[in-house]
Amino acid sequence: MAAPPPPNYGAQRPPMMNNPNMNPHQVRPGQGLPGGPNVHPGFPGGPGGAPPLPAGQPGVGQPYGQHIPPNRAGTPQGYPPQQPGMQPQPGGPQPTGFNYGNYPQPNRPAPNYRPPTGPGHADGMPPAPSPSMGQMPPMGNVAPIQRPGMPPPLRPLTGHAAGVPGSPMTESPTARLPPNFIPPISGTPPPPGPGVAPPGTRAGRRAYPTADPYSNPSAMSPMGGPSLDPFSAQLPSPEYGRPGTPATGVPPSPLPAQAPQFFNPGQAGGQQASVPTFGAQPAGPPAPTFGSQPQGQWASGQGMGSSSTFSSQSDLAQVTGSFGNLSIGGQSRGGPTSVNLLQGPPNVQEFDGPAPTPWISPESSVSQAPTSNSDPKYKRCTINAIPQTIQLMNKCKIPFGLLVTPYRHLLDGEDPVPVINPPQIVRCRRCRTYINPWVQFVEQGSRWKCNLCFLTNEVPSFFDWDPETRGHVDRLQRPELTHAVVEFIAPQEYMVRPPQPVVMLFVIDVSYAAVQSGMLATAARTILDTLDSVPNTDNRTKVGFITVDSALHFYNLSPNLAEPQMLVVSDLDDTFLPMPYDLLVSLTESRSVIEMLLQRIGDMFKNTQNVGNVLGRALQAAHKMISPIGGKIIVLQSTLPNQNEGALKAREDPKLLGTPKEVSLLQPQTGFYKNLAVSCSPTQVSIDVFLFSAQYADIATLSGCAKFTGGSVYYYPAFNAARSEDAMKFAHEFSHFLSRPIGLEAVMRVRASKGIRMTAFHGNFFLRSTDLLSLPNVNPDNSYAVEMTLQENLTTSLACFQTALLHTSSNGERRIRVITLAVPVTNNLADVFASTDQFAVASLLSKKAVERALTSKIEDAREALMYKLDDIMGAYKSSFTTSGQAVQLLMPDNLKLLPLLTLGLLKNTAFRSTSTVPSDLRSYIMAMLYVLPPEMSMVQIHPRFWALHALDQQAGLPGADGRIVKPPSLNLSSEKLERHGLYLLENGFEIFIWVGRAVAPELVQMLFDRPAYDAITAGKTTLPTLQNDFNVRVNNLIGKIREVRIQMMTTYPQLYVVKEDGEPSLRMWFLSQLIEDRIDASYSYPQFLGVLRERLGKVGTA
Ligand SMILES: [Zn+2]
């Protein structure tokens, strides 16, 4: 195998300087959206519906994460820009995958680059009374809390198991990494039946429950004061620790300086006497497979191991009955099962388990269908049994929020979202909630009671009567009532204009760096090779190109031309387009001219010496060109924009890294790009940014384009197409990016049960009004976090959250995707703790920490993370610890990984205290954490780590279900590294293979096709494909990781081989991800627990 040139991790960046200025997450007040043709008209009222919003409602530029004024369920819903006059068309695409970028890489000088060789139901009659209507007894359909220890309800889950873990690092100022040590990371409606309750549930015909299921739980008597949110307020400095002990929870510099000891097999890194030691690592459970998920089982917990599934309705009734009285009535049944964290190392295999689900059986819904509640992959709540009172909410200290990934890419084996086209979309006439599986039928089934605002509404006749067959139909089989996630084909009233076509306008850098690095040629080749896959089912897709150096080049791509014409504009005092037509053309009609351009474009600029770049002007022109329609602007940029409007300075200043002033480098240096993005939002234009610079790229500033338009950022530091790994990575990601289905001109609204208020939103969007998120592009890879609070005590036993995403699918159909999540309400603190989803909490906290870092300082973000952990553990300790347990460090079983996750965040590239992470990389990882869905942010926070030399029989081979079996995960500790071992570590963006010095030559030969350790070349590489079992299995594992990552986040992780005694910066990069170790001044996991115990001890005695 040809060894690639070793990366130059040690290359110094040129010193740069400059100032920050704006918070990239903020839209300045007053920057409301202009009205314009795309002002949202508001939803049509249904029969008796609420009046639509007046057109031209002023925008309300809201800063991200900004606290929002109270808004109750019941606000009329406004929807976005459309123009009248279009017919929906049947059939449509399904959501697509995720998209999360890449990571940074080490700077590599690029000598002698060469142009790359491209890799290249419906009804409508008066309802005849159903035979049993009004005769059935009430169902007692009280939402039961389902607790651990009880058999969980049947809840078929499909798809990929919860993600894996991420990448941190820490160093002392004395032992720093070389600055560039980080290498590049760089329908058809499904039959309504399937989700229906099991046979026997509705023998004959079931009457609709008429009892009011919403019990009014007795008042609580909890205490508890107001919660101090460490992320939103000026924090008092935490007063942990006594003098002389490590105090501030984070890695500042509390520990005595010590030479780095990265590789101490058999010895916990830097353990101190006072630090608890761990026992032996428990044996791992059976190896999970990729994409597998245990069926309807809880991942954790006492007594859950023997959980069974409900097989009959009587079982269900029994259980729901018993639960219905259990905690809703108010008696506490004792605390959750506590785990003493000091007893042993964390059980990291729980990262491979299924996501926790709400403590309610989907069969408690009106249809009793197993698909009645939202799959956590679409929407999950941090708490799966919600505190009933404000007091109880304050007392638990657990962050209350939703994580929504509305347009996620379906993984292999997952059922598509049902698409329905009813004669009428049924919504609550007061709060505009869409009818869903958690409503109740009242008055003999003639009305339905809204589960958000509790108003009763009429049931339309077509729910029970099919005019075509002139027969009765079972309303409980309708997808709206059997599925938590459904997609309606939107009728005319939901449009103000025809659904827009897919429009892709490429803005490509053709300056010297873009050409020399091979970016231009690789990009052109990839677009050319992907043209057949670009969404274009109705032949309406339009494309256009602008190339940029110190001038702008436009291309006349008229289908009537024999070849493309280039129009050069070098007078850039004003933004104008050289011609009004044929710059944006039909992909189908102009296909041959487009292909010709893509084939020639590399040669056209191959001799350029132009180092100028006027990206700002190019974006203005691009916006002008595309704004009458809307669509995607795709920026491919190798050079820092350095001329005209939007010019940026190379401001990187290594002296600022690791200091409080570092944040200035993480904030945009000019408001230009954010302002441009904000003006793009109302015209339904999104901007995706691909950055390839070998030098400073100013991601902090340029990412603003994506942030406010629902776009994405991809980063290929020091891209060099001459290196096949670089070309392959970009080509894979760009090709997936171009060919996946996309949602366009979208708005999203989140509603919640009365009493719950949204307080802040996090993600890439523009907040158009208090709760309306504008998304010119619905990115399948992105999730959105919603912070919530109780504004009044809840009066019912069930809280519901509904997200509606009105969008245009990439085949030109206007659709509304509705996602409903139901979570029981409890007045029992023990239930709150025992139902908390630690992964969702960590994911939400990571987003809040990003925002905190960018609006304040990274140190404040670390402090807030630590403070929140203290808060939660302190709240638990004060309620559930007896005096005899004082020396222990207790957490509920389901939260026992939260300290490890917090430590992972503190050591993550985004937040660790270090002077060695370039600001571009830091900005990039922050941008990723801010939008990644929880499954993916877990991989970044806690990477997965496997021993390749000890693969069991099945690992790396297809299991019984045909999926590749994963090896068991190891703890992220260098204790696991044996000298004769081979290990794989993956963090979502990179894959590392660590090779121990005493590795068996036979293994080296089988894997690398090299005779021995010394002959292995470290660095970015590609494994040879050889005909031996070991090689096949490792390649299977790597291939499967890449397949899943490209689907979930549009990332093709690059492979690095790291030798035990190899290049120090590469070793350091790998070792810094072993977050249980002590590295330099950072705490090891045992030390971290020691610090936590000390801080909590102090809290307890205060
Ligand atoms: Zn309502």
Domain range 943-1074, CATH class: alpha beta
Interval 16-51: pLDDT, tens: 333 333 333 332 333 333 333 332 333 332 333 333
User: Is the per-residue pLDDT at 929 higher than 70?
Assistant: yes
Q: Which fold has domain 371-496+744-827?
A: Immunoglobulin-like (2.60.40)
Q: How confident is the model at residue 337 (pLDDT cuts 50, 70, 90)?
A: confident
Interval 245-279: pLDDT, tens: 333 333 333 333 333 322 222 232 333 323 333 43
Q: Residue ranges per domain, the chain?
A: 371-496+744-827, 503-741, 943-1074
At residue 142, what is the residue type? Answer: V
- Return residues with CB closer than 5 A to ligand 1 (ion): 428, 430-431, 433, 450, 452-453, 455
Q: How confident is the model at residue 581 (pLDDT cuts 50, 70, 90)?
A: confident
Calculate how far, in angstroms, residue 528's C-alpha sits from the geometric centre of ligand 1.
Answer: 50
| pLDDT number for residue 146 | 55
Residue with tokens 């030098």: 695
Higher pLDDT: 52 or 986? It is: 986
Q: How confident is the model at residue 240 (pLDDT cuts 50, 70, 90)?
A: very low
Q: How confident is the model at residue 853 (pLDDT cuts 50, 70, 90)?
A: very high
Q: Provide the β-strand partners of residue 566.
A: 555
| pLDDT number for residue 145 | 58
Calculate how far, in angstroms, residue 593's C-alpha sits from the geometric centre of ligand 1.
Answer: 53
Interval 756-773: pLDDT, tens: 999 999 999 999 888 899
What's the rounded mean pLDDT across residues 661-688? 96
- Please report how the helices 1085-1101 and 898-906 are oriented relative to each other, as an axis angle in degrees rounded to 10: 110
Calculate how far, in angstroms, residue 437's C-alpha sits from the geometric centre of ligand 1.
Answer: 14
- Cβ within 8 Å of residue 191, ≥6 positions away: none
User: Is the per-residue pLDDT at 206 higher than 90?
Assistant: no
Q: Are strands 386-387 and 1019-1021 parallel, antiparallel or unpaired?
A: unpaired
What's the rounded mean pLDDT across residues 716-733? 97
| pLDDT number for residue 336 | 78
Contact 713, 779 (CB under 8 A): no
Pick from 737, 682, 292: which is nearest to 506 by CA? 737
Calculate how far, in angstroms, residue 491's C-alpha sits from the geometric centre of ligand 1.
Answer: 21
User: Is the per-residue pLDDT at 1071 higher than 50?
Assistant: yes
User: Is the per-residue pLDDT at 12 higher than 70?
Assistant: no
| pLDDT number for residue 295 | 30
Q: How confident is the model at residue 467 (pLDDT cuts 50, 70, 90)?
A: confident
Q: Are strands 713-715 and 585-586 parallel, antiparallel or unpaired?
A: unpaired
Q: Coil, strand or helix: which one is 740?
A: coil
Calculate how far, in angstroms, residue 591's C-alpha sits from the geometric centre of ligand 1.
Answer: 50
| pLDDT number for residue 312 | 30
Calculate how far, in angstroms, residue 484's C-alpha sits from the geometric centre of ligand 1.
Answer: 17
Calculate how far, in angstroms, residue 429's C-alpha sits from the geometric centre of ligand 1.
Answer: 7
What's the rounded mean pLDDT across residues 285-300? 36
Burial of 469 per CB tally in 10 Å (0-12, 13-18, 19+): exposed
Interval 857-874: pLDDT, tens: 999 999 999 999 999 999
Q: How confident is the model at residue 1097 (pLDDT cuts 50, 70, 90)?
A: confident
What does the DSSP 8-state code read for residue 936?
H
Q: Coil, strand or helix: which one is 282?
A: coil
Distance CA 16, CA 696 (A): 8
User: Is the per-residue pLDDT at 217 higher than 50?
Assistant: no
| pLDDT number for residue 103 | 29
Q: How confident is the model at residue 792 (pLDDT cuts 50, 70, 90)?
A: very high
Calculate how far, in angstroms, residue 438's C-alpha sits from the geometric centre of ligand 1.
Answer: 12
Calculate how far, in angstroms, residue 41's C-alpha sits from the geometric centre of ligand 1.
Answer: 20
User: Is the per-residue pLDDT at 658 higher than 80?
Assistant: yes
Q: Coil, strand or helix: which one is 270?
A: coil
Q: Across all residues in the chain, what is the average pLDDT?
A: 76
Burial of 226 per CB tally in 10 Å (0-12, 13-18, 19+): exposed
Share of the chain above pLDDT 70, in %: 69
Sheet holding 944-947, edge to edge: 944-947, 982-986, 990-995, 1054-1059, 1019-1021
Chain centroid to CA 68 = 22
Q: How confident is the model at residue 386 (pLDDT cuts 50, 70, 90)?
A: very high
Q: Provide the β-strand partners of residue 542.
A: 503, 586
Contact 828, 221 (CB under 8 A): no
Pick from 925, 1072, 1046, 936: which is nearest to 994 by CA? 1072
Q: Which of 15-19, 194-198, 748-752 has the highest mean pLDDT?
A: 748-752
| pLDDT number for residue 218 | 31
| pLDDT number for residue 137 | 36
Q: Are strands 485-489 and 419-420 parallel, antiparallel or unpaired?
A: parallel
User: Is the per-residue pLDDT at 1001 higher than 70?
Assistant: yes
Distance CA 713, CA 104 (A): 12
Interval 681-721: pLDDT, tens: 999 999 999 999 999 999 999 999 999 999 999 999 999 99
Higher pLDDT: 748 or 272? It is: 748
Higher pLDDT: 185 or 232? It is: 232
User: Is the per-residue pLDDT at 1099 higher than 80?
Assistant: no
What's the rounded mean pLDDT across residues 718-742? 96
Calculate how far, in angstroms, residue 454's C-alpha sits from the geometric centre of ligand 1.
Answer: 6
Calculate how far, in angstroms, residue 447's C-alpha sits from the geometric centre of ligand 1.
Answer: 13
Residue with tokens 């370039």: 918
Calculate how far, in angstroms, residue 760's C-alpha sits from the geometric centre of ligand 1.
Answer: 22
Q: How confident is the model at residue 619 (pLDDT cuts 50, 70, 90)?
A: very high
Calculate how far, in angstroms, residue 803's C-alpha sits from the geometric centre of ligand 1.
Answer: 14
User: Is the per-residue pLDDT at 291 higher than 70?
Assistant: no
Q: How confident is the model at residue 59 (pLDDT cuts 50, 70, 90)?
A: very low
User: Is the per-residue pLDDT at 241 higher than 70?
Assistant: no
- 451, HSE (Cβ side, Cα atoms, 13 Å): 26
The H-or-E segment that residue 1004 falls in is helix 1001-1008
Share of the chain above pLDDT 90, in %: 61
Burial of 736 per CB tally in 10 Å (0-12, 13-18, 19+): buried
Contact 836, 869 (CB under 8 A): no
| pLDDT number for residue 576 | 81
Calculate how far, in angstroms, residue 682's C-alpha sits from the geometric centre of ligand 1.
Answer: 29
Calculate how far, in angstroms, residue 1029's C-alpha sits from the geometric centre of ligand 1.
Answer: 60
Range in 732-736, 809-813, 963-967 the model is least confident about = 809-813
pTM to 2 decimal places = 0.75
Calculate how far, in angstroms, residue 403's C-alpha sits from the geometric centre of ligand 1.
Answer: 22
User: Is the per-residue pLDDT at 369 higher than 80?
Assistant: yes
Residue with tokens 């909630």: 433
The correct answer on CATH 3.30.420.140 for the domain covering 503-741 is no
Sheet holding 784-790, edge to edge: 379-381, 401-404, 784-790, 756-762
| pLDDT number for residue 538 | 86
Q: How many helices (H) and strands (E) does the chain have?
A: 21, 32
Residue with tokens 């900004």: 66
Q: How confident is the model at residue 741 (pLDDT cuts 50, 70, 90)?
A: confident
User: Is the per-residue pLDDT at 503 higher than 70?
Assistant: yes
| pLDDT number for residue 170 | 28
Q: How confident is the model at residue 147 (pLDDT cuts 50, 70, 90)?
A: low
Interval 834-851: pLDDT, tens: 999 999 999 999 999 999
Calculate how far, in angstroms, residue 439's C-alpha sits from the geometric centre of ligand 1.
Answer: 10
